[in-house]
Amino acid sequence: MRKHTVSIIVSDLETNPGLPRLLQSVSRQSTSLDRVEMIIAGNGGHPPSDPAIWQAITGIDAIRLLVLDGSATVSRARNLAAAEAEGDMLVFLRPDHRLDPKYLTTADTVFEDHPDTDVMYADYIRLAPRNNRSANPAMIQLPAFREGLLQARGFLGPAAMIRRELFQRTDGFRDNTFYRDWDLWVQAAYAGGVFHHVAYPLSSCEYHKVSFKERAEDGRCKAIIVINNQGFFHEHTVRWALSYLRGDSWAEAYGFMTIPGPMDVTRMLHDHAMRVMGTDALAEEAIRQFHRAALHSRP
């Protein structure tokens, strides 16, 4: 059977200092480097620009720098790089990601033993940031794939591999939500993609503290995922997303990085109705007490 070729795409718009360590983790793959190309999509700030130095670090001859203008977003960088990629399989990485030495070997086995697989994802190791004792390193064990899980959470983790043919059937990465990866995997599932879970940590990534902006935008970004992919979600969840974006009082942001399911939406509506009814009842009782007090105060 013909071995798949792999395009590793790295978006490095801020010229992350961790990029050389990612390149080294690629060079340490136990096999298959002759079937790998790398595309580094950046804004021209990659020092040095000599391809021979990049090739020496990675052990890969097929490595290219894609220089984008200063207005480029992560989504646009990834989409442009994917359009130029030549591999059968695509992997989208950040500079702080690292690949296990058996990443490519495991991918070969998965796609050969399970030829219907379109997306491979695996457990991963979360690394603690430097000089931060509040976050401990941990191995993150992911569940087997179910559409219901993806409808609730973007759980796939880093270094998922997708067939280029399936990626081309999606709209790629979108700019209208922070959760661009989650949105892509929803698109892939809705397009009929088959997901395969590897119960072994094949990558690692640094822990990132959630910013105030990310928390503030969480509800909106989740609602946009639902609106982007309405056919993938229950009609109650679509109603929630539309109502949240309109600012309807009953539609809450819900749990952080979690999209409410149909029962959750029903509960929101019920709780809101109870609160409204309770408020009206209290107001009516207050009016009655006001009138009684006014009658007693008359001479």
Q: What is the mean pLDDT of residues 268-296?
A: 68
Residue 219 has pLDDT above 80, yes or no: yes
Q: What is the mean pLDDT of residues 98-116?
A: 95
Residue 217 has pLDDT above 80, yes or no: yes
Please report the pLDDT score of residue 207 as a whole number: 79
Q: What is the mean pLDDT of residues 9-13?
A: 88
Residue 108 has pLDDT above 90, yes or no: yes
| Dist. CA 121–CA 136, nearest whole Å | 23
Comparing 14 with 202, the larger pLDDT belongs to 202
Cα 68 to Cα 44, 65, 260, 294, distances in angstroms: 7, 10, 37, 74
Residue 282 has pLDDT above 60, yes or no: no
Comparing 208 with 46, the larger pLDDT belongs to 208
Please report the pLDDT score of residue 125 as a whole number: 95
Buried b (16+ CB within 10 A) or exposed e, 87-103: bbbbbbbbbbbbbbebb
Q: Which of 270, 196, 193, 178 is nearest to 232 (CA)?
A: 193
Q: What is the mean pLDDT of residues 132-151?
A: 87
pTM of the model: 0.88
**For all residues of the chain together, what is the average pLDDT?**
88
Provide the pLDDT confidence category of residue 1 given band limits of 50, 70 and 90.
very low
Work out the number of other CB atoms within 10 angstroms of the CB of residue 6.
25
pLDDT digits (tens, 9 = 90+) for 64-96: 888 888 788 999 999 999 999 999 999 999 999
* 3-state secondary structure at position 92: strand
Please report the pLDDT score of residue 16 as a whole number: 73
| Dist. CA 253–CA 243, nearest whole Å | 11
Classify the C-alpha dihedral 173-178-179-183 as positive or negative. Answer: negative
Residue 206 has pLDDT above 90, yes or no: no
Within 13 A of 237's CA, how many CA atoms are on the CB side?
Answer: 25
Which range (136-140, 157-161, 240-244, 271-275) has the least confidence? Answer: 271-275
Q: Which of 10, 45, 41 is nearest to 25 (CA)?
A: 10
Please report the pLDDT score of residue 244 as a whole number: 97
| 133, two tokens | 């004792």
Residue 186 has pLDDT above 50, yes or no: yes
Q: What is the mean pLDDT of residues 113-121?
A: 97
**Cα angle for residues 54, 59, 61 (degrees, 5° grid):** 70
pLDDT digits (tens, 9 = 90+) for 232-267: 999 999 999 999 999 999 999 999 999 999 999 999
Q: Cβ(22)–Cβ(93) under 8 Å?
A: yes
